[in-house]
């Protein structure tokens, strides 16, 4: 992970040496044409990235919308809509110089006013992670048509990580300003600055994007378009990859047990790169607003009852690692020594339930709970079925509930659930992707991917506020270590797996998976081999 000094060095290099090159420079001889066909599973509820950051939305909308920055596989910031940036010595002022030839897909110019509108108005209202970042700003202003200045209230060391496309997608001021963002009629035809433009969405069938012929990078994109095919059946998705009907599968598209077989095909290239920005952790989310879940002994008992090694080996087929706490081992400030660990131990689990006074009835049942299945494929159903069996062994009876993607996210946001499977991204730094889940100021009904559990711990709030303000990494580490100790004692959620998503690419395409945002990136370099 890049240090603050490295991040500042990146900015200085850009200013001294002109625009920093992207991982694979443009090649005038690059082959043009072709349609890349990818799997889309499940179908997203909307394509406006500022309004929804679910995985299917990011996948498609990442080609339509862009952020100020992008990040290489080592998480070093690279230019995107911002061609350069500087940071003041006191860490309070970030100045971004924008590309000057960018147009929105409807032909309107992209300017600093769009950045100010996006970061100061639109995103803080509808995007919980962006709100957490930009609430730290004392002011966000346009110094001129192509310069934006962010002045922070206090130092925030990971601020340069706030500009991932899904974290801070730039939204067109001329379309949204003064409107009800969620009800704006233009939401049906998303308009961004990206390499591809929205063409059509045939619900239940496909989404088609076409080349943006007025894209701001000369000569790009190379592809004529991208078609995302909605294929609900897992076996059909695997067959589509195997037979070449689709060129790209990612994330949960292909069931874990199919990955080793498909990776051996001559026309397929397998990679687990491209998810460094997200470093996802899967867990079981718990609504703390009612008993027995409100008692941490019940949550601890469930942790002991679930064999996370079994899940990784037998459900994910090795695509991941057992999770030990709130911070992914691949993310900054992880500290195993600070964690309270929960080895698979049914006796310890039942002892905790006994201590609560939850005695088994005549059927051996101590408690009954409902659990929503994450609607992202068969692997989540299998995981849910395993967890149901595991908890039954300690006397917890689980009723599994199914929803489509839209229904699932609404219930989570509305707190209309008892427990649910979920996975959430780390976004390169605990302040960006971890804090939002646990701080009490982020308990916001109707807004998913916040502290929807209703977990409250004053010390956790204090530490998440103070840690990213530290310029001394040692002091920051001490705070994050204490946080990990507290959270693994309280068990706000049941951490299961640090996921590693496979990316399966047809070898007839190149430059598809070239940075830390992987399949969610803009694909402006993707081309036929």
Domains identified in the chain, total number: 1
β-partners of residue 206 are 202, 229
The answer to whether position 79 is within a domain reads no
Residue with tokens 């990784």: 312
CATH number assigned to the domain comprising residue 489: 3.10.105.10
Distance separating alpha carbons of residues 471 and 155, to the nearest angstrom: 8
Tens digit of each residue's pLDDT (9 = 90 or more) over 388-441: 999 999 999 999 999 998 899 999 999 999 999 999 888 889 998 899 999 999
In a domain, residue 443? The reply is yes
463: in domain: yes
Q: Does residue 366 sit within a domain?
A: yes
b/e string for 411-443 if b means 16 or more Cβ within 10 A? bbbeeebbbbbbbbbbbbbbbbbbbbbbbeebe
Tell me which residue has tokens 């159903």. 381
C-alpha span between 77 and 163 (Å, rounded): 9
Tell me, what's the pLDDT at 482? Answer: 98
Asked if the bond preceding 292 is cis, omega within 30° of 0, the reply is yes
Residue 14 or 205, more confident: 205
In a domain, 326, yes or no: yes
pLDDT (0 to 100) of residue 29 = 66
Burial group, residue 133, by CB count within 10 angstroms (0-12, 13-18, 19+): buried
Q: How far apart are CA 59 and CA 511, in angstroms?
A: 16
Q: Which pLDDT score is estimated for 4?
A: 39
Q: In degrees rounded to 5, what are phi and psi of residue 279?
A: 35, 60
281 within 8 A of 323, measured Cβ to Cβ: yes
Distance CA 493, CA 246 (A): 36
pTM: 0.77
- Listed in sequence order, the residues at least 6 apart from 271 whose beta carbon sits closer than 8 Å to its beta carbon are 502, 503, 505, 513
Please give the residue range of the domain that contains residue 299.
Answer: 281-499
pLDDT (tens digit, 9 = 90+) per residue, 368-396?
Answer: 999 999 998 888 999 999 999 999 999 99
**8 Å CB contact between 161 and 432:** yes
How do beta strands 147-152 and 196-202 pair?
Answer: unpaired
User: How distant, in Å, are the alpha carbons of 21, 340, 356 from that of 9?
Assistant: 15, 37, 54
Q: Provide φ and ψ at 268, rounded to 5°.
A: -115, 135
Intra-chain end-to-end CA distance of the chain, in Å: 32
What confidence category does residue 455 fall into, taking pLDDT thresholds of 50, 70 and 90?
very high
The alpha-carbon radius of gyration of the chain (Å, integer) is 23
Whether residue 458 is contained in a domain is answered as yes
- Extract the tokens encoding 367: 């408690």
**pLDDT higher than 80, residue 484:** yes
131 inside domain:
no
- Taking alpha carbons only, the member of 27, 137, 195, 163 closest to residue 83 is 163
pLDDT tens digits, one per residue of 151-203? 999 999 899 999 999 999 999 999 999 999 999 999 999 999 999 999 999 99
Strand partners, 372: 401, 420
- Contact, 269 vs 504, CB < 8 A? yes
pLDDT tens figures, 299-322: 999 999 999 999 999 999 999 999
Question: Is residue 205 situated within a structural domain?
Answer: no
């Amino acid at each position: 992970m890049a240090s603050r000094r490295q991040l500042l060095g990146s900015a200085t290099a850009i200013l001294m040496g002109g625009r920093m090159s992207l991982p694979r420079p443009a090649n005038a001889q690059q082959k043009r044409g072709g349609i890349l066909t990818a799997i889309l599973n499940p179908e997203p509820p909307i394509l406006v990235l500022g309004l929804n950051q679910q995985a299917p939305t990011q996948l498609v909308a990442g080609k339509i919308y862009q952020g100020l920055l992008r990040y290489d596989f080592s998480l070093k910031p690279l230019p995107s809509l911002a061609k350069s940036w500087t940071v003041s010595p006191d860490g309070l002022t970030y100045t971004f110089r924008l590309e000057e030839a960018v147009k929105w897909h409807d032909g309107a110019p992209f300017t600093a006013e769009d950045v100010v509108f996006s970061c100061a108005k639109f995103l803080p209202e509808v995007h919980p992670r962006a709100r957490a970042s930009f609430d730290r700003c004392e002011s966000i202003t346009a110094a001129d048509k192509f310069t934006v200045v962010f002045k922070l209230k206090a130092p925030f060391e990971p601020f340069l990580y706030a500009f991932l496309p899904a974290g801070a997608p730039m939204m067109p001021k001329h379309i949204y300003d003064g409107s009800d963002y969620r009800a704006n009629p233009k939401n049906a035809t998303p308009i961004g600055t990206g390499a591809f433009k929205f063409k059509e969405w045939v619900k239940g069938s496909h989404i088609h994007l076409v080349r943006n012929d007025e894209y701001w990078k000369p000569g790009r994109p190379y592809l004529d378009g991208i078609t995302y095919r909605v294929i609900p059946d897992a076996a059909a998705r695997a067959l589509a990859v195997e037979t070449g009907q689709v060129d790209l599968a990612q994330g949960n598209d292909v069931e874990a047990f199919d990955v080793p077989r498909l990776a051996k095909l001559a026309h397929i290239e397998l990679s687990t790169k491209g998810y460094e920005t997200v470093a996802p952790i899967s867990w079981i989310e718990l609504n703390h607003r009612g008993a027995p879940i409100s008692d941490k002994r019940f949550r601890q008992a469930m942790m002991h009852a679930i064999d996370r090694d079994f899940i990784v080996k037998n459900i994910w087929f090795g695509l991941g690692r057992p999770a030990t706490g709130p911070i992914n081992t691949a993310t900054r400030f992880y500290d195993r020594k600070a964690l309270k660990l929960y080895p698979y131990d049914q006796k310890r689990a039942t002892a905790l339930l006994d201590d609560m006074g939850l005695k088994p009835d005549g059927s051996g049942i101590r408690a009954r709970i409902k659990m929503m299945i994450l609607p992202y494929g068969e692997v989540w159903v299998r995981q849910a079925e395993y967890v149901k069996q595991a908890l039954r062994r300690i006397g917890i009876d689980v009723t599994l509930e199914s929803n489509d993607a839209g229904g699932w996210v609404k219930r989570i946001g509305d707190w209309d659930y008892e427990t649910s499977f979920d996975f959430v991204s780390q976004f390169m730094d605990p302040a960006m992707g971890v804090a939002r889940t646990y701080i009490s100021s982020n308990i916001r009904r109707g807004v998913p991917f916040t502290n929807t559990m209703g977990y409250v711990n004053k010390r956790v709030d204090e530490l998440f506020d103070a840690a990213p303000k530290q310029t001394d990494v040692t002091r920051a580490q001490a705070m994050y270590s204490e946080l990990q100790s507290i959270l693994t004692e309280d068990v706000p959620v049941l951490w299961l797996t640090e996921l590693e998503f496979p990316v399966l690419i047809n070898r007839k395409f190149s430059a598809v998976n070239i940075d830390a945002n992987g399949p969610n990136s803009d694909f402006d370099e993707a081309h036929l081999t």
